[in-house]
Amino acid sequence: MVLSLIGFATIISIVTLLIRGKVIPIVALTLIPIIGALVAGFGMEEIGGFFKSGLGSVMNVVVMFIFAIIFFGILQDAGLFDPLINKMIQLTRGNIITICIGSVIIAAIAQLDGSGASTFLITIPALLPLYKRMRISPYLLVLLIGGSASIMNMIPWGGPLGRTASVIHMDVTELWRPLIPVQVVGMMLMIALATILGIREKRRIAVLPEATFVEESEEALLTSREGAHKGLYLFNLLLTIAIIAILVTGMIPAGFAFMIGVAIALPVNFRTIKLQNECIKRHAPSALAMASIILAAGVFLGVLNGTGMLTSIAQDLINILPAFLGRYIHLIIGFLGLPFDLLLSTDAYYFALLPVVDQISSTYGIPSTSTAYAMIVGNIVGTFVSPFSPALWLALGLANIEMGRYIRYAFFWMWGIGILLLIAAIIMGVITV
């Protein structure tokens, strides 16, 4: 219990600091877990081992992030996304609600490969300039893409179902089939949410002063594209499609793919060493700033996993619940699925919490599949709201927004979607009460 209390205090401290914006993420994600581990009785040598373990879990994301930011920056400087933006504005006639709904649909399609990171890499760089031009909040962009991707992540090759299937010893495809109608309802809920938030955003933009209508001046835009070689649109488009295809197939690591993309795109679009250096300098600061945050998140994840705090929290939360609630434990955990995402990593949720909940529920005759569905459906929309998600840090970096403010912006909307989705699953008979 002591380890759980220390872990709980560590997580709450970090989330509170991020939400209130008292310190930058690197400070909170590095110092607070170290203090927590020391209080729990671990030495600096052990903490160093936790750091190495955590670093290993995020290093691929860091490399991918650095070169992805630079790669898409080069293409943005070259004007690759301009025709897409102009076409979407033409198709939607500048309708903010239609743009929001379109973002949900695009994210759902992009998430079919089961990788949240690649979904963000494909969608955010392409849609963010459109959102900026239309003055739509980038926080809304990440919320819509993250929510849609989360619901689509209930696929056999997605992480949650794979983990669940291994815990309850069931074929992952059989586990998935009853969730298909739940996914359909989830997408309908996301489209409804996109409509509601699109209306709210339209009203917000309508009262903005004229001076804030344009995020980026024409002069700044022209400066960023100075030196970009003209007439290379088709080449850049084919290169982007090739890189995305490599990401989807998993032929080589994503970071390596983007590294190759940068090595090709940079000299082709910027013909002199001076222009190439200037391009790198334009985009490297944001890439390195977010890369450092992801490395700090590696410390956070490594320490909480290595000390056993996450496993302890999962087990003790179950133990302190009153006995008369035992029959409904799977529903309770499902309804609290998104808040649990702020306390537990995905692995801790499915590998530590699920077995304990399943064991308790089974004594009341609740099938293991029903317990699993309750925990998946209630938790799934929180996948990209949690600071435990490396892919979310990637999304925030691509959109250039803050974790704390994003949690405040998205938490209750996503939790509401999760609860409605859980109720729908119960009504459809997917989850046994």
**Domain-located, residue 22:** yes
Residue 286 has pLDDT above 60, yes or no: yes
pLDDT of residue 352: 67
Average pLDDT over residues 250-256: 81
Q: Which two tokens stand for residue 101?
A: 């709904």
68, 286 Cβ separation under 8 angstroms: no
Mean pLDDT of the chain: 83
**Domain-located, residue 136:** yes
pLDDT of residue 74: 85
**Domain-located, residue 181:** yes
Closest by CA position to 382, among listed 422, 431, 433, 326: 422
**Domain-located, residue 220:** no
**Domain-located, residue 402:** yes
| Beta-carbon count within 10 A of 222 CB | 9
Q: Which two tokens stand for residue 311?
A: 């496993």
**Domain-located, residue 35:** yes
What's the structural domain count of the chain?
1
Q: Domain range for residue 234?
A: 1-206+226-428
pLDDT of residue 248: 67
pLDDT tens-digit profile of 262-272?
999 999 988 88
This prediction has a pTM of: 0.72
- Cα dihedral across residues 65, 66, 72, 73: positive or negative: positive
**Residue 237: burial class (beta carbons within 10 Å; 0-12, 13-18, 19+):** middle
pLDDT of residue 424: 94
**Domain-located, residue 214:** no
pLDDT tens-digit profile of 311-357?
787 777 777 777 677 788 889 989 998 888 887 777 777 866 787 78
141, 104 Cβ separation under 8 angstroms: no
- Cα dihedral across residues 405, 408, 413, 417: positive or negative: positive
pLDDT tens-digit profile of 111-133?
876 777 778 887 888 888 889 88
266, 232 Cβ separation under 8 angstroms: no
d(CA 113, CA 149): 10
138, 100 Cβ separation under 8 angstroms: no
**Domain-located, residue 218:** no
Residue 218 has pLDDT above 50, yes or no: no
Average pLDDT over residues 397-403: 87
d(CA 245, CA 76): 19
At residue 228 the predicted structure's pLDDT band, cuts being 50, 70 and 90, is low
Residue labelled with tokens 């250039």 = 400
Category of 21 on φ-ψ map: left (φ > 0), alpha (ψ -120 to 50) or beta: left
